[in-house]
Amino acid sequence: MVGAPQDIPVTSPWPRDRHTGILRLATAGSVDDGKSTLIGRLLYDSKAIFEDQLSAVERTSRARGEDYTNLALLTDGLRAEREQGITIDVAYRYFATPRRKFIIADTPGHIQYTRNMVTGASTADLAIILVDARNGLTEQSRRHAFLATLLRVPHLVLAVNKMDLVGYDQAVFEEIAAEFTAFAAKLDIGDLAFVPISALHGDNVVQRSENMAWHDGPALLSHLEHVHIASDRNLIDVRFPVQYVIRPHQATDPELHDYRGYAGQVAGGILKPGDEVMHLPSGMTTKISHIDTARGAVDEAFPPMSVTLVLEDDLDVSRGDLICRPHNQPMVTQDVEAMVCWMSDAVALTPRGRIIVKQTTRTVKALVRDLHYRLNVNTLHREEDIDRLGLNEIGRVTLRLTQPLFCDPYSRNRQTGGLILIDEASGATVGAAMITEKH
């Protein structure tokens, strides 16, 4: 049996309007690091686990002859996973506290780790990297940290787990933290925090641990609740990829007959009625007449709002176009430099290979003009003179596109700088790419 959940308030049915946003987090680590136990603990202590789910887990634990309720079982999804004790794919978990709603992208540590971790990290505000206090940093923890920074996850937490098994020894924790800090200097990490925990016993997960009074930082959950994410979005560069043109054509309502709205999700910046804007690819400028939502017109729009822009002038705007400010334009280019993570075992990425690229609302054909190097994710060394990129490999490419993209370096904007790569023949998603600065 696990004890009663630690006492944190049950989610208020009445979220305080301004304060309950969403934090998306990715967790990396293998089963051995206690990742599933940590997630089980967060879900259990935040009362996101229900009695029928818990009793199913208790039954399974007993049937397996385990002497405590294995919270890791809460996150096993598919039959094959339960039978083989592995995690196959990214699973999404949800819990909430009165401060925030949390979406966890739970990615397996070993099998297909790169593909899955890249997928989970692509939308994450924060990544938790778990290490086992007894083993210290491993190749895998370095790899996970690298992937989180490659995908520009703004906040990183190194959670040193199983502190109970090293006698809650501060020196063990400090040594791992120092080693990781030295490694992190080679990466571009925005915000880094360290927490010593025991997921199994709940130390420093939801409440600060009495066993580790020497730790002066908050417990993990408190850090997740308070980490400042408001500044992570790009609110400077206005980027509005046009997704869909709304034309009501309702003869019954003459007012709507000439309505022409450009629907989309704001990918950067703050738009206001009256703002002068530029349309790409035409380069024509006009003003925003108003910004519509079904709830009525709004006086500003910012990421990640889905809105409809009505422009003052009648321009020829269609899906795949982009609205920006005249003095702050994205790159408009048919030659894209990018870091690619390849995700297919059926086909490889090869120089001169053809691929379909989807970026924001734009889909274009492309040719792999150059494959510059493969990055060894363990050593961070560049392996040059290669002729292919296989499953779970990361490399640097130049793509030549049949149509220009309106894009930004991924480091500047994750929405306009990220691409997915699609295989023409099978239609499968075979890779992800992050646009780099031009050299």
Partner 1 sequence: MGHPRTDYLPTQLDVLEAESIHIMREVAAEFERPVLLFSGGKDSIVMLALAERAFWPARIPFPVMHVDTGHNFPEVLEFRDRRVAELGVRLVVASVQESIDAGRVAEETGRWASRNRLQTVSLLDAISDHRFDAVFGGARRDEEKARAKERVFSFRDEFGQWDPKNQRPELWNIYNTRIKMGEHIRVFPLSNWTELDVWQYIAREELEIPSIYFAHPRSVFERDGMLLADNPFIPRAEDEPVFEATVRYRTVGDMTCTGAVESAAATIKAVITEIAATRITERGQTRADDRTSEAAMEDRKKEGYF
| Two structure tokens written together for 98 | 């009165």
Q: Is 20 in the site for partner 1 (CB under 8 A)?
A: yes
Out of 27, 69, 234, 359, the residue judged to bind partner 1 by CB under 8 A: 359
* Contact between 317 and 261 (Cβ < 8 Å): no
Answer yes or no whether residue 317 interacts with partner 1 by CB under 8 A.
no
13 lies in the site for partner 1, by CB under 8 A: yes
Minimum distance of partner 1 from residue 122's CB (angstroms): 4
Per-residue contact string for residues 118-157; x = within reach of partner 1 by CB under 8 A = xx--xx----------------------------------
Site for partner 1 in 58-77 (CB under 8 A): 76-77
Q: CB of residue 149 vs partner 1: minimum separation in angstroms?
A: 16
Contact 130, 106 (CB under 8 A): no
- CA–CA separation, 6 and 9 (whole Å): 9
> Which part of the chain contacts partner 1 (CB under 8 A), choosing from 87-95, 166-174, 204-212, 395-403?
87-95
Which residues make beta-bridge pairs with 356? 365, 422
Q: According to the binding rule CB under 8 A, does residue 274 interact with partner 1?
A: no
- Residue by residue, DSSP assigns 286-346 as EEEEEEEETTEEES-B-TT-EEEEEESS-----TT-EEEBTTB--EEEEEEEEEEEE--SS
Q: How far apart are CA 159 and CA 176, in angstroms?
A: 10
Does position 294 bind partner 1 by CB under 8 A? yes
C-alpha pair distances (Å), 26 with each of 120, 161, 181, 224, 400: 6, 16, 20, 12, 32
CB atoms within 10 A of CB 422: 17
* Residue 37 vs 122, nearer CB to partner 1: 122
Helix, strand or coil for residue 239? strand
Q: Which residues of 12-50 are buried (b: 16+ CB within 10 A; e: fewer)?
A: eeeeeeeebeebbbbbbbbbebbbbbbbbbbbbbbbbbe
**Nearest alpha carbon to residue 228 among 155, 158, 157, 301:** 155
Give the type of residue at 40.
G
- Return phi, psi of residue 385, to 5°: 55, 55
Q: What residues contact 436, with CB distance under 8 A and at least 6 apart? A: 337, 338, 339, 396, 409, 410, 411
What is the total count of residues that contact partner 1 (CB under 8 A)?
83
Q: Is the bond preceding residue 281 a cis peptide, omega within 30 degrees?
A: yes
> Cβ 432 to partner 1, closest distance in Å?
5
**Cis peptide, bond prior to residue 98, ω within 30 of zero:** no
Question: Closest separation between CB of residue 390 and partner 1, Å?
Answer: 15
Residue from 181, 250, 350, 378 binding partner 1 (CB under 8 A): 250
Q: Interface residues for partner 1 in 164-223 (CB under 8 A)?
A: none
Q: With contacts defined by CB under 8 A, name the span among 27-35, 153-161, 276-284, 416-424 that binds partner 1.
A: 416-424
306 binds partner 1 (CB under 8 A): yes
Residue number, 233 or 239, with CB nearest to partner 1: 233
Question: Does 97 help bind partner 1 (rule: CB under 8 A)?
Answer: no
Residue 28 CB, shortest distance to partner 1, in Å, is 16
Give the binding range for partner 1 (CB under 8 A) out of 31-39, 186-194, 210-218, 305-313: 305-313
HEC string of 251-268 equals CCCHHHCCCCEEEEECCE
Q: Is 391 in the site for partner 1 (CB under 8 A)?
A: no
Sole binder of partner 1 in the list 68, 85, 236, 244 (CB under 8 A)? 244
Stretch that binds partner 1, among 130-138, 275-283, 301-309, 393-401 (CB under 8 A): 301-309
Minimum distance of partner 1 from residue 220's CB (angstroms): 20
Using the minimum distance from each CB to partner 1, give the nearer residue, 300 or 384.
300
Q: Does 6 bind partner 1 (CB under 8 A)?
A: no
Choose between 8 and 165: whose C-beta lies nearer to partner 1: 8
Query: How near is the Cβ of 76 to partner 1 at its closest, in Å?
Result: 7
111 binds partner 1 per the rule CB under 8 A: no
Distance of CA 199 to the CA centre of its chain: 23
Q: How far is the CB of 256 from partner 1 (least distance, A)?
A: 6
Residue 114: alpha-carbon gap to chain centroid? 13
26-55 residues in contact with partner 1 (CB under 8 A) are 47, 50-53
> What is the distance between the alpha carbons of residues 390 and 401, in angstroms, rounded to a whole number?
22
Element (H, E) at 422: strand 418-422
Smallest distance from partner 1 to CB 179, Å: 31
* Min separation Cβ 17 and partner 1, Å: 6
DSSP code of residue 6 = P
Q: Which of residues 224-243 bind partner 1 (CB under 8 A)?
A: 229-230, 233, 235, 243
